[in-house]
Amino acid sequence: MCTGTEVAKRAPRADPVRVAISAMLAVAVSRVVLFPIDTFKTLLQSSASVGGRVGGLDVPPWRVVLDVVRKRPFTIYHGLLPSILSSVPAQALYMTVYELTRAHLPGNQSDKAQDWSRVAISAAAGNAVAALARVPAERIKQKMQVDPSATLLSAVTQSWRREGLRGIYRGFGAQIIRDVPYAVVLYVTYEHLRTRQIEMQLQRVHLSPSAIAGLLASVSTNPLDVVKTRVMADGEPLRSAMRSVIQNPRLMLRGMVPRSLQKMPSSMIYLACYRLFMNLNLPASLTKVSARKRIHHRLRPQPHSQH
């Protein structure tokens, strides 16, 4: 019987088209289901007014949530459209770069230290590329979450008129500072726990690796998430936001509970859906180009296998 490590060695490289489509579908499902929690998290971290109150440290989290539920419950999905528009292409870029980078980096997959380093480098590379597509809509989304009167058009035009392209990409540095460590912690933890499950030859599919990875990544990067929110939603300079968080330990933990409540199920839903869609038979028209490449590759003379 083959061990989990041997199975992992023999696994074929992921098809980029299938990876992109699976990532887009999975992240869309996850965002729609959990977007209200993301809205509460943004309001807790922002210094903007919430229902006549200030969403700062002087207002208890439960009060902020209660104000939103009572006074404007329908706005919990305010900003969903730009969130979907940013997360779908960004996640496709992210997972494609992640899978391709990990597949092409040198090293022995049976060496755990080397494999974890490949996962970390691949996650960092994927997030750096994905940020180009993610940041503009992420900024617009958070401005709409903080200001219920803002529309998609008004949020875009306001940012463009004030600072042009720089305004649209405000918070790019903060996004990278938060997302790269988050992705590294998430995927190194997830791949490690998932590999352990395979090595133990567990027949049942457990969601605990993704939940544990999401919780650990969320808690460890929450201070950086506060910085990003204040830069994007409030327009605070990056250095000023970082200084505020460093000088105020309470601010580091702001929004950590709703963010963790979002990231744990988000990781579970996304990674489960991603694996599900990766194993589905996609329409031939979607994978036609990649199928031709695979057929052409199979027809070419292959070197003798080392396994």
Tokens of 216: 């650990």
* Residue 151: inside a domain: yes
The pLDDT, as a whole number, for residue 223 is: 93
Report the C-alpha gap between 135 and 130 in whole angstroms.
9
Tell whether 40 is covered by a domain.
Answer: yes
Number of domains within the chain? 1
CA distance 207 to 219: 19
Q: Is 98 part of a structural domain of the chain?
A: yes
In a domain, 129, yes or no: yes
Task: Calculate the dihedral angle through the C-alpha atoms of 115, 120, 122, 125, rounding to the nearest 10 degrees.
Answer: -160
The per-residue pLDDT string of the chain (307 residues; one tens digit each, 9 = 90 and over) reads 333 333 334 334 668 888 999 999 999 999 999 888 888 787 777 755 444 344 455 566 667 777 777 777 777 888 888 888 888 999 999 999 998 998 888 766 666 666 788 888 998 999 888 888 888 888 888 778 777 777 888 888 887 888 787 777 888 888 899 999 999 999 899 888 888 877 776 545 556 888 899 999 999 999 999 998 888 877 888 999 999 899 988 888 888 988 888 888 888 899 889 988 888 876 655 555 444 554 444 444 433 434 4
Is the residue at 200 inside a domain? yes
Helix-strand-coil split of the chain, %, nearest 5: 75, 0, 25
CATH of residue 42's domain is 1.50.40.10
Instruction: Please give the pLDDT value at position 110.
Output: 62
Closest CA to 250 of 44, 65, 37, 49: 44
Contacts made by residues 187-191, CB under 8 angstroms, sequence distance 24+: 187/98, 187/119, 187/120, 187/122, 187/123, 187/213, 188/116, 188/119, 188/120, 188/123, 189/213, 189/216, 189/217, 190/267, 190/271, 191/115, 191/116, 191/119
Task: Give the structural domain span for 78.
Answer: 14-280
Query: What is the model's pLDDT at position 39?
Result: 82
* Assigned domain for 6 exists: no
* Cα–Cα–Cα angle for 96, 306, 202, rounded to 5 degrees: 60
Whether residue 92 is contained in a domain is answered as yes
169 located within any domain:
yes
Residue 225, pLDDT score: 92
The pLDDT assigned to 2 comes to 38
